[in-house]
Structure 1
C-alpha cells in the first residue's frame, strides 16, 4: 500500500494523527476534572478542538511528517517532538489572547504529553511499516572517482535509505553506462560531469523510466532560477541576479528588527545566567568579539558568548573547531552544542550588519582561502550574513564547504520573508539535533585545509 498508493497512505496517517489528538485532549480533560472535582466543560472542549486539530494538521504537513520514507527513526521522533512543542506554544498564546478559547494550563500540558506519547507510538508503527514496505533501490553512481567514493561512503553509512550502489562508473566515454542504467533504479550524476554528458544521460534515463539525482554545479544552480525571454523569435533564458530586490530587502529588515528586538528582551534572563556560568567556569571576558566578513565583503565585529579559553588561537592561528577540541571550556561545550553562544548576535542584527537568516559570516582568512578554491564563493556576500541559514538547517557543521555554498546560493536565489520564516522555524530542529552542531573531525579537517592551501 505504501508504495502503490502513497496518497492513501498519507491520508490514513493524517486521519490517525487527528484521531489521536482528539482522543488525547478528551482524556486529558477527564483526568484533570476527575482530580479537581469540577464539572467537565464539554462546550469548551468542542469549541477548542477544531483549533487544535487545525494547528496540529498544519504543523504535521510543515514538518514533513506525512512522508516517512527514507528518514531516520530518530529524525521522525525529533520532528514530532518539535511539532508538539510548537503546538503547545501556539495554544498557550491563543488561550492568553482569546479568552473564549481558554483551556486551563493543566489540561493543555497533560493533553500535549498524552498526544506526544500516542503520536510517537503511532509514528513508530508507520515508520516500521515504511521500512518493511520500502523496496531497496539499485544505484549507479556516475562521475569522478573522488566524488563517487564520497557518495558511496554516505550511502553505505545511511543504511535506512536502502540504496545499494551496484555500479560505480567514472568513465562516460566508454558507453558502458547505458547497460548499467537498464539494470538499476536510480542514477546519481556528479557535479563534475560535462553538461552535454548529463543531457544525454538524462534523456536516456527518461526514455528508460529511471529516476535521476543530479549533484548541481554552479552553472546549473544559476539556471535554476531564470526568466523566459526572447531575441526576436528565439527563446532565451535570462538568469536572475543573485540577490534580493529592494522590496525584499525592506521587508526582510523589518522582520529582522521585529524578531531581534522581541527576542533580545525575552532572553535577558538567559543572558544573565550564561554570563554568570562563563565567569565562574573560566577566567576571561564573558563576550567574544571577532572580525567577520559581511555584506559586500565589508568586515564587522561579531558578538558571541565566549566558549574557548582566552587566546585559544595564539599558537595555532585561525583554525575551525574540531571534535573534542581541547580549547573549548566546559560551559562553552554546552552552549556551543545548544547554539546559545550565537544569541548575542541579535545585537549585530539590531545594528544592521547581520540578518536573522543568511549565510554564516566567516573570517577573512577562510573567505580568501575558499574564494581561491571556489570562485563563486564571492556571491555569498550579496546578502547580509545571518545567525541561522539554509546551510545550517539542511547541512551539518562538518558539511563540505562546496555543499554549504550550494545551500547558501540557493537561499540567496529564494531570499524573501516567507523563506526566512520557514528557516527560522526549522532552526529549532538544528538546536536539538546533535549531528548539526558537531565539530569537524580533526584529521579530515587538516586534510581539507591542507588540500586547499596546496592550491593557493
Structure 2
C-alpha cells in the first residue's frame, strides 16, 4: 500500500510542478540543424511532442549559412540531425555549449560507440576503449535466469487467456491457430518464431514478404484485436523457454528484411549480438511504424546497458505501451 500511494502522490506532485512551471516560465524556442528528408522527419516528430509543439522556430541545413550563430543565440534548444557533417556538428556543439544552450542530437553508430567507453593509457597517450556491444558471461547467466522465471510464471497465469485466444482464432477464420515463421536470432542463426495467427491463411502467397501496413486487408478481425493487445506474441514464451529468445531484446526480423537492412545500415547486424526479445526498448520508446534506423538506435542503446534492472523496467513499461493505440500502428505506405 505504501508503494502504491508513493507512486500516486509522486505522479500528482510531478503534474503540479510541471503545470506551474509551464504557466510561469517563459516558453523556450528551438532551432534545428538538419537538411532534406531528415529535417522534415524531425520537424514532424517535434510537432507531435508535448511541450515542443510550438518550440521550433528555425531550421538551418549547415554551418555554411552565415546566420547559424545568430540562430543559436536566439533559441534555447538546439537540435542536431544525424546526417549533418561531423565538422558542422563540432562547430554547433562548441558554440552552443559556450552560450549555455540545451543540446539534443540524433546519434550515429560512431556516437553510440563512444557511450560507456573505458579509459586506457598508452604510455602518455590517453585512449578510450570502445564497447564491443557483447554481453558478459554474468549478464548472460542473469538474463537467462530472469527469462525462465518470467516465462514460466506468465504461462501459468495466462494459460486461460491463451486457451480463449486459440478458440477465438478458430471461430474467426479458417486456418491453423499458430503459425511459425523463420527469423534471425543470436549471432545471425535462424530459428522459427511461434505466434498466434492474426492474418488470413496464406496471406503472403501472392505478394511475398511485406511489412504490415495500417489497415492491412490481410489481417483478420480478431487479428486486429490481438495485434492491438499483443496477444499474438504469447506463444513466443515457448521460444524463450527453448533459449531461442529472451523476454527483453531486439525484435527478431525475417532474413529477407535483415539482408536489406544490413545493406542500408551495416551496423544493423550488431542487433544479433544478443538474443531477440518479445519486447524491447524500441517497442516501449518507439512505435510499430518507427523507422528501422530509429529502432536500431534503441536496440544498440539497450545492448550497451543490459541488466536485470533494465529488463524489469522495460517489462513494466510494456504494459503502458499495450494501452497506447499509436504504438501498434502499421508501417505507412508499405
- Shorter-chain TM range is over 0.9
Task: Specify the alignment match of 1:170 in structure 2.
Answer: 61
Q: 1:208, CA displacement in angstroms?
A: 1.1
- Unaligned residue ranges in structure 2 (runs of 5+): none
Pair 306,239 (structure 1): closer, same or farther in 2 beyond 3 Å: same
1:403 is the counterpart of 2:288: no
- Residue 298 of structure 2 is aligned to residue 349 of structure 1: no
Matches within 5 A, 1:188-337: 188-337=79-228
Aligned to 1:53: 2
Cα deviation for residue 214 of structure 1 reads: 1.0
Query: Could you tell me how far 1:146 is from its partner in structure 2?
Result: 1.8
Paired residues of 1:137 and 1:162 also in contact (CA < 8 A): no
TM-aligned CA deviation for residue 437 of structure 1: 1.0
| C-alpha distance in 2 between matches for 1:65 and 1:376 | 42
Q: In 1, distance between residues paired with 2:224 and 2:12? A: 31
Whether the 8 Å CA contact 2:62–2:88 is kept in 1: the answer is no
Residues 319-347 of structure 1, C-alpha deviation per residue, up to 9 Å, x if partnerless? 11111111111111111100010010000
Instruction: Give the conservation status (yes or no) of the 8 Å contact 1:137–1:164.
Output: yes
| Deviation digits for residues 358-393 of structure 1 (CA, Å, limit 9, x no counterpart) | 000000011000001111000000000000000001
TM-score normalised by L of structure 1: 0.70
Q: Deviations over 1:117-153 (max 9, x none)?
A: xxxxxx6xx6654543453222111022221111112
Report deviation, 1:67.
4.3
Show structure 1 runs of 4+ deviating over 4 A: 58-61, 64-68, 126-131
- Does the 8 Å CA contact 1:169/1:177 hold for their aligned counterparts? yes
TM normalised by structure 2 equals 0.95
Check conservation: 1:136, 1:162, Cα contact below 8 A: no
Aligned to 2:282: 391
Deviation at 1:157, TM superposition (A): 3.5
Aligned counterpart, 2:304:
413
- How far does the alpha carbon of each residue in 1:159-217 deviate from its partner, in whole angstroms, 9 at most, with x for none? 64344322111121234211111111111011112333222211211221211111111
Q: Report SS of the residue matched to 2:79.
A: strand
Residue aligned with 1:414, SS: coil
Unaligned runs of 5+ in 1: 1-51, 69-122, 446-456
